[in-house]
Structure 1
Amino acid sequence: MYNAPYFMKEAGRVLWQNRLSSVFSFLSTGLILFILAVIVACWSVGNLLIKTMQDEAEISAYLDRDIGTEQVLELIETIKGMEGVRDVQLVDREAAYGRMKEILGDEAGVLELFEENPFEAFIEVRISLGELEKITERLESLKGINHVRNNREVLERVQSITIGLKRLGYLIVTAVSISTLVIVSHMIRQGIYNNRVQVGALRLLGAPESFIGFPFVLAGLLLTLAGGLLASFVIVFLVNRTYSAMAGSLPFIPLPARNQLVSGLLLFVSSVSILLGVLGSMFGLRSTK
């Protein structure tokens, strides 16, 4: 703590001596950390979407048009007794029409072009996702069921997109780490070279290597923290704008709690900034020995 003012002064001098390089390093670090934060945010949304779809997995069993009320009730009781079925609900033609009208919103006027209700009655079956195939086969075999529709393809597509984002994220994490380490270590090496006379004098006076090197480590840490701060401002702005836009146009898409997502991203960016700043500085110091 006694030497803290000296370390801060020396770190500031290192950054100022290489101010052009420091500015470009700051902007580059901010950009790559921002890209990393966007990927992490996409992971969070994708994982929540998959979990929501798994929790709300359902099958729609469409009924024959000439089926009677008693037979429908018998079908419902039969379906309720199937293993893996969580809930069963009858959706008649009027209810199906109302649902579509609600989904279309301002565009619901297109439904008035039909002379008759174009929707069929169906039984909505909420299930455990692991039993999807088995329940689908059993429903298709029941008399009075015209056809069965499930959301398997949608779920598989969302899962594949999320897996793709994760793989892309791993590549970006690797690229971000390498790029930041190279940027910071290069700046530290340049700073040591520009201050080689002072460094040599301190060594002749018997100063320990930790005392000589700490201002350079601090300079690298300040640089990545500044880049992380820039990335944090941009990602918070982007998250707020995205949530506001989707709340009005796509309210049915599940999103993580805004405050929880923002706080998680800020913690992640700051942690990565500190880690990469310290490692990059240490690497730069070791490469000059």
Structure 2
Amino acid sequence: MCMGRCLVGLTFCTCYLAFYLTNKYVLSVLKFTYPTLFQGWQTLIGGLLLHVSWKLGWAEISSSSRSDVLTWLPASVLFVGMIYAGSRALSKLAIPVFLTLHNVAEVIICGHQKCFQKEKTSPAKICSVLFLLAAAGCLPFNDSQYDPDGYFWAVIHLFCVGAYKILQKSQKPNTLSDIDQQYLNYIFSVVLLAFASHPTGKHHFVCLFYIAYSMQCALTPVITLRNIFGFFGFFLMFSTVKLKSLMAPGQCAAWIFFAKVITAGLSILLFDMILTSATVGCLLLGGLGEALLVFSERKGV
């Protein structure tokens, strides 16, 4: 049983690493910065893979009532905002910086639990929240590759993530499973992003992008990586659901933290990032904050 859990955890880390590195490469190196089409294509692939998995009996998708779908609709809207803003932010920011800002979503969740649900907050969690806020707040002033547009979209992303998790936790038990929620997210994302791509004129720019890359004989890698990214996104979602079903919240948090550390570390070696002592200090402070959050989750406080 322990070996099986470790295998699931390692699979999750591998998918997490592949997802972010591939995403960063397509957005930053290949300069494919068309979020409506990029994310729309990924969610389409994810939805099709999930549907096929359901038909093959590998995943269970229950028939949701209209009221359940309508209740989950605000969360699906936040999901679209989360992936769209995240894509825009990641195209401008280094992965360690993006993940440090992403972690501030936990501050929003903790604040909601403290203010609206009147939950008791442990000293460890309070310290983690303060460290996460301090790290994210100091980063813009110490980031030698500071990009205001990237930070702007990162803030929108973290607010969407925080609100999404709050809505997810507020769902009534046994209403929608994690797979059901993700299936609805995929369907809504494909529809909304497909409609959004035409008014914004992104389809026109993508055609020009394809023509330019075709002239350089580089179209095939772009399409291949885009499709691979869709597969990685699906497998990351699937492994996350499996991780949550097999492990306690504290163990899940530990594996997620481990995956983030590996991803951030390797990204520094693979992508250009200027590290100063102040930047490293902010990143380490954010890491310490998340480590304390994992500790508080494992202790159940």
TM-score by length of 2: 0.27
The answer to which structure has the higher helix fraction is 2
TM-score by length of 1: 0.27
Greater C-alpha Rg: 1
